[in-house]
Structures are given as structure tokens and as C-alpha cells.
Amino acid sequence: MKDERQNQILNAARALFFERGLRATTMAAISDAAGIAKPTLYSRYKEKNAVFQAVVASILDELRALMDEEFSKSGSVEGRLTAALVAKYCVVFDMLQSPHVAQMMEDKVLYAGEAFEKLNTDVARRIEGMMAEAGYTNPSDLTHLILSCAFGIHRNARTREDVARDITAVVHALLAVSK
């Protein structure tokens, strides 16, 4: 479990990374924003990239927890799947309002693209299992199609309400014709 100081650091760093980007954020700025001394920050993180990786891990943990909560609820496969995708992609939509976040998520070498890709792979496996268990035809292809649509929706939506409405419509339509 993270302590309060850890949360202060990660919240401050996250806000700065979103506002300024990784390159323009300094350890001094993180310590100032977190309200802690630089030696305290350096005692926990040797460098800015370590802070960044901790921020990415916390974001991924939040997204996983959000989706797990929705997947675990009772109800139809369609309802649980829709709720999980809407929850994830509304959060991602909000984060992508910062051009710095978009760059960090997409750049697989320098930033966090691989970590987000792994989350997407894990989610796809879970959805495919749900589809197979519920008896849907071609669960692998159906999962790929649903996730591709959800990804495109969140990237092209104007509002988070658009994200929720359009993902709901697509999941409903695809599942209706696939059983």
C-alpha cells in the first residue's frame, strides 16, 4: 500500500507530466508541487524516469481496477463489457486532452506505449474469454472488432458523453449480430 507521501509525489508528478510533458518536468518541479524537499524525492526515486514509470504504473492500476470492477459485477456480458469499456475509454479520453499524454502513450520506445499495450492485451484476453464463455461466434474476431471500434471512438469523440454513447451503441450492435 502506498503511503501518503508517495501519493503526494505521484499526484504532483502526474499533474506536471500532463501539463508540461515528461521532458519539461524536472525533479525540482515535482518536489515543489508535492510540497516535499528534493532529498526526500531523491530518496524514493533516483531520477525523473523512475517517477514517470511509477506514475504510469499507478494509471494502469487505476484503469485495471476500474475495468475489473465493471467486469466483476453481475449482469449480462453486454452490460459488463459496455460498462468496463466506457469506464476505461472515458478516463483515457480525459487524459488525452493533454497533448503530452497522447505523445507519452503512443511512443513505445521513450514513454509508456508498451505498458498501455500490455494492458490492452490483458483486457482483450479477458473479453475474449467472456465472449467464448457466453457462446458468441468467433470470440477472438469479435473482441478485436469491439476493441478496435472502442479505440477509434475515444480517439475521435468530441466529448466523454460521445465516448459512452458510441461505445454502448457499437457493443450492443456487434453482440446482437454475433450470437
Mean pLDDT across 142-146: 96
Band of residue 122 on the pLDDT scale cut at 50, 70, 90: very high
> Treating both helix axes as pointing N-terminal to C-terminal, what angle do 77-95 and 113-133 enclose, rounded to 10 degrees?
170
Contact 104, 18 (CB under 8 A): no
As for how many domains the chain has, the answer is 1
**What CATH number does residue 100 fall under?**
1.10.357.10
Query: 172 lies in which domain range?
Result: 4-176
pTM summary value: 0.85
pLDDT in tens, 52-103: 889 988 988 999 999 999 999 999 999 999 999 999 999 989 988 887 877 6
Rounded distance, CA 21 to CA 159, Å? 23
Band of residue 1 on the pLDDT scale cut at 50, 70, 90: very low
Contact 125, 71 (CB under 8 A): no
Mean pLDDT across 151-166: 95
pLDDT of residue 100: 82
154-161: long-range contacts, CB 8 A cutoff, minimum separation 24: 154/89, 154/90, 154/92, 154/93, 154/96, 155/96, 157/93, 160/90, 160/93, 160/94
Alpha-carbon distance values, 38 to 30, 46, 48, 115 (Å): 9, 11, 12, 28
Which three cell numbers, joined as nine digits, stand for 48?
Answer: 525523473
Which three cell numbers, joined as nine digits, stand for 66?
Answer: 476500474
pLDDT in tens, 100-120: 877 666 665 556 677 778 888
Mean pLDDT across 140-157: 95
